[in-house]
Amino acid sequence: MYSGLLIILLPLIAGYLVPLRSNSLIQVINRLLSWMVYVILFFMGISLAFLENLSSNLVLILQYTLVFFLCIFCANALLLYLLERRHPWQNTHRQEKLPSRLHMALESLKLCGVVLGGFVVGLTQWPWLQFASQGGEYALILLLLLVGIQLRNSGMTLRQIVLNRRGMLVAVIIAASSLAGGALAALLLALPLKTGLAMASGFGWYSLSGILITDAYGPVMGSAAFFNDLARELVAIMLIPTLVRRSRSSALGLCGATSMDFTLPILQRSGGVEMVPPAIVHGFLLSLLAPILIALFS
């Protein structure tokens, strides 16, 4: 367990120790980070193609994804609803016109296409493709290094994180309710508790959860983790404009770790600029927690 945790933490810490003063270098890091996500998902698709009893395993992936998504989503929604009732998030923002939610959803679905592409390539069963899982591990280490650099140069200070009470509160509730939902899903599926907790610890970070869970529990669970976290992002995209009028905490919390990047523009346009600081803090904290918790539980 501790060696696995070190493999996760060391690249993150090493990256966080790298200060960048050049905006062009930061942009290069961000582009590399986007490309590494595609590389990792492609490797994951190849690994999936090498599964024995492939057809029955695909049904299992769908079953696991559905149960985990419903349990985690419902647990998140319930606690966020209670938070909003007890501590309403007051605002006077008038919602802007948003771009097509279908277009934003299709952008996310491209990631499924990358996994499918890797799967099709893997069906060729070329001998050298057996090294895909090992390649995925090296790609993950580089990804974590780049994430550490990105977090260091995101502009967030410890003072800003500590002072933003709403962002911290929503992040804590999402982490706790996700773990509770994962434990319930594990119970329903007759899986070990630590497997359910690891599956719930991705918080929407599909590329990370997919490859880490694949490494710990195999391609079936890894693919289920990926699709579970991707479904979270897709549902958040669809619900944010409606939720932000009734429960801003729910609109933020359901984004998970993506509130710091992909869903941030949607939150800003739906809820106003005041949504940005808590969204960044919320995503920042969950992004730090995700690799640590997955490593601990796996």
Of 225, 182, 175, 176, which Cα lies nearest the Cα of 205? 225
Report the C-alpha gap between 3 and 290 in whole angstroms. 17
pLDDT in tens, 55-73: 778 888 899 999 999 999 9
- Say what the pLDDT of residue 174 is: 95
Report the range of poorest mean pLDDT among 11-15, 50-54, 226-230, 237-241. Answer: 50-54
Report the C-alpha gap between 193 and 221 in whole angstroms. 14
Q: What 8-state DSSP symbol labels residue 254?
A: T
- Say what the pLDDT of residue 157 is: 62
pLDDT in tens, 279-295: 888 988 898 899 889 98
- Say what the pLDDT of residue 77 is: 93
| Residue 1, both tokens | 């367990």
pLDDT, the chain, mean: 81
Q: Is the pLDDT confidence value at 188 over 80?
A: yes
Among residues of the chain, what percentage have pLDDT more than 70? 83
Answer positive or negative: Cα dihedral of 133, 211, 186, 59.
negative
Q: Is the pLDDT confidence value at 107 over 50?
A: yes
pLDDT in tens, 20-46: 877 888 888 878 877 877 787 788 778
Report the C-alpha gap between 20 and 150 in whole angstroms. 9
What residues have CB less than 8 Å from 160, skipping those under 6 apart? 277, 281
Structural domains in the chain (count) = 1
- Say what the pLDDT of residue 1 is: 43
Residue that wins the pLDDT comparison between 46 and 53: 46
- Supply the range of the domain harboring residue 135: 2-297
DSSP string, 62-115: HHHHHHHHHHHHHHHHHHHHHHHHHS-----PPPPPPPPHHHHHHHHHHHHHHH
- Say what the pLDDT of residue 278 is: 87
